Structure 1
Amino acid sequence: MWQDIKLLNATANTLLGALLLVLLASGVWWMAQRPMFTLKMIRVDGIADVQLAHVNALTIKATALPRIRGNFFTANLNTVRQAFEAVPWVRKASVRREWPNRLVVTIEEHEPLGTWGDEGRLLSVAGDVFTANLAEAEENGPLPEFSGPAGSEKEVVARFADLQGWFAAVNLAPETLTLSSRYAWSVKLNNGMTVELGREHSKTTLQERVARLIGIYPQLVARLQDRIDSVDLRYPNGMALKASGLVVGALKGGAARKK
């Protein structure tokens, strides 16, 4: 072996290359540990420069900062992102480095649409269920109430938007929307009236049923004023109406009877 000059040269070059790599890695490690790369600031921005309404320095210090480790080079950005997404009101977070000692976190907040179920959770306009301070969510007034089977949240949000548009024709607005375990819809309006819409048999089922009520609603109000308690629209050719002092039959032309 010692007489093989080519082999000796190759071995020497390999050892030299390995030594240089070790020295380079050591130099990089040494440089990365310098105080100048210690994280000095974490800047938090709203997505698309939207001002954050609920996330503040206090909640960030309490929830996110204790989970962040490392410096400019060694901080795990995925871990930092997860730490910020654990902060109440944060829907999504993205993180990037900013030379030489900063992290920039961009946050998208949940926008509350209403409450979900009876466990104090909130439903966002995107159909996400999340946990946050209810009093803070309702600082501008009570929120609509929603409930439904697990996984139906986005469908409930979409139907709520539909119902808002349909009932606006008679100056009414939904305040409570319920989707039962059998996927039957029920809505309570801002005049206190409950409307049983039933299950959807086609894409137009609910719209057709609401249109049936809206078509005669002015006449009902003229006769009954604010005494309407509930309307059941689950009948194919009519409706059942309950009001203080009377019940109107299910079919068209059905006679009213005293309670």
Structure 2
Amino acid sequence: MPKRLAPTASADGGRVRILDRAIIGGRRFFVGLSASRAATCGAGTWLVALLFAATGAYGLQRGGHMPVAIETARDMADAAANLAGFRIANVNLSGQNHVTPGDILATAGVKPTSSLVFLDAEAARTRLEELPWIKRATVQKLYPDRLDIQLVEREGFALWQKDGKINVIARDGTIIAPYSDDPRFIRLPIVVGDGAEKSVTEIVEALSLVPGVRDQVRAAIRVADRRWTLKMRNGIDVRLPEHGLVDALQELAVLDRDKQLLTRDVTIIDLRIADRVSVRLSDAAYEARQVDLKAQSKKKGGNT
């Protein structure tokens, strides 16, 4: 008898069953995907929008157009806020003396189309305080349409000369502006040299205590960023010590009062060594001195 074979699954039958399971699993997946699509539709739309926005921003940045785009967006926002009644209609300025209103508004970022809503008051204050003349600024927004800007300006304290250029400086040495023939600057004391602007308060305040000397000073020269030499109006150089500045100036005032030292025919008065005053005569005075000494010597010789 022929041998009876036990029933087995054919290769095609196995493939069919595997395919059936794949189809059923696929249907379940797509059914689940369809069910969740409605829930994620809104999020997908936002993701697409963000993708386009990011792509656009990247393109603007790469093309160097981002500042223009930001300015355009700001103008559009200002326009909308202005329609709502928030246009800056009143600007109150106070404390300005050297800075013009136009420069103040331009620096603060206030334009005819600016709205109060989108003006960054803190950023405006920071930009204003970067101006050399302005020491402190306050920017206040008063809704719906008023802006208050209060300034405290620096005062010109001295003139600083370096490398042939003269600038007006504040008490702390900040350069405020190039020197001009403005009457407010003509009588300011003059300091010269490297480091003079940083130590200007020291010499100006010391001279203010000795007005008899101060009024004869043309300029104060900073030497090696350690001490001062005064250039007097008549050409005499007065060398001051590194320490004891006020004492030396007061001693000079006494010598000038009692000995008329600052009107003598001398070129240098050296006060750098305590308790000693050295004087250098001018060439003419030196020669005259030598003639006098010879005459005195001959006279003494004749008497003997």
Shorter-chain TM-score bucket reads 0.5 to 0.7
Q: 1:219 to 1:54 in 2, by over 3 A?
A: same
In structure 2, what is the equivalent of residue 131 of structure 1?
A: 176
Q: 2: CA distance between counterparts of 1:194 and 1:94?
A: 46
Match of 1:120 in 2: 166
Alignment-mate amino acid for residue 42 of structure 1: V
Match of 1:236 among 261, 265, 274: 274
Question: Residue 120 of structure 1 contacts residue 131 of structure 1 at CA under 8 Å; is this kept in 2?
Answer: no
Shift of 1:64: 1.7
Contact 1:72/1:102 (<8 A) preserved = yes
CA contact (8 A) 1:70 1:76 kept: no
Q: Residues of 1 paired with 2:103 and 2:281: CA distance? A: 49
Counterpart check, 1:195 vs 2:195:
no
Corresponding position: 1:180 with 2:223 = yes
Separation in 2 of the partners of 1:133 and 1:40?
35
Q: Choose which of 93, 96, 105 in structure 2 pairs with 1:44.
A: 93
Name the one with the larger strand percent.
1
- Deviation of 1:34 (Å): 4.6
In 2, Cα distance between equivalents of 1:155 and 1:170: 19
Aligned to 1:143: 188
How far, CA to CA, are the matches of 1:136 and 1:55 in structure 2?
A: 17
TM-score of the superposition, structure 2-length normalised? 0.56
Alignment of 1:66-85 (within 5 A): 66=109, 71-85=115-129
- Which secondary structure state, in structure 1, belongs to the residue aligned with residue 125 of structure 2? helix
Q: 1:42-71 CA distances to partner (integer Å, 9 max, x unpaired)? A: 22101xxxxx4322234335x525577952
Q: 1:183: how far off?
A: 0.6
Q: CA deviation at 1:199?
A: 1.4
Residue number in structure 2 paired with 1:12: none
> Which has more helix, going by share of residues?
2
1:173 and 1:190 in contact (8 A); partners too:
yes
Correspondence 1:164 to 2:197: no
Provide the C-alpha distance between the structure 1 equivalents of 2:263 and 2:237, rounded to a whole number of angstroms. Answer: 15
Return the match for 2:137 from 93, 100, 112: 93
Contact 1:163 1:174 in 2 (8 A): no
Corresponding residue number in structure 2 for 1:3: none
Please state whether the residue corresponding to 1:100 is helix, strand or coil.
coil
Percent identity reads 19
Structure 2 residue aligned with 1:217: 256
Q: Structure 1 segments of 4 or more deviating over 4 A?
A: 65-70, 136-140
CA deviations on 1:230-256 (whole Å, 9 max, x unpaired) are: 311112332222344336xxxxxxxx6
Secondary structure class of the residue paired with 1:73: coil
Does the CA contact (< 8 Å) of 1:164 and 1:174 recur in 2?
no
The verdict on how the C-alpha distance between 1:105 and 1:226 changes in structure 2, with shifts beyond 3 A counting, is farther
RCO higher in 1 or 2 (8 Å CA, sep ≥ 6)? 1
Any conservation in 1 of the 2:208–2:214 contact (CA below 8 Å)? no
Deviation at 1:86, TM superposition (A): 4.2
CA distance in 1 between partners of 2:81 and 2:107 (Å)? 23
Count of matched residue pairs: 208
CA distance in 2, matches of 1:174, 1:73: 55
3-state SS of paired residue (1:210): helix
Q: Note closer, same or farther for the CA distance 1:139–1:162 as it changes in structure 2 (3 Å cut).
A: closer
Structure 1 CA distance for aligned equivalents of residues 177 and 214 of structure 2: 31
Change beyond 3 A, Cα 1:86–1:137? farther
Q: Which amino acid aligns with 1:233?
A: L
* Paired residues of 2:134 and 2:151 also in contact (CA < 8 A): yes
Q: Which has the larger radius of gyration?
A: 2
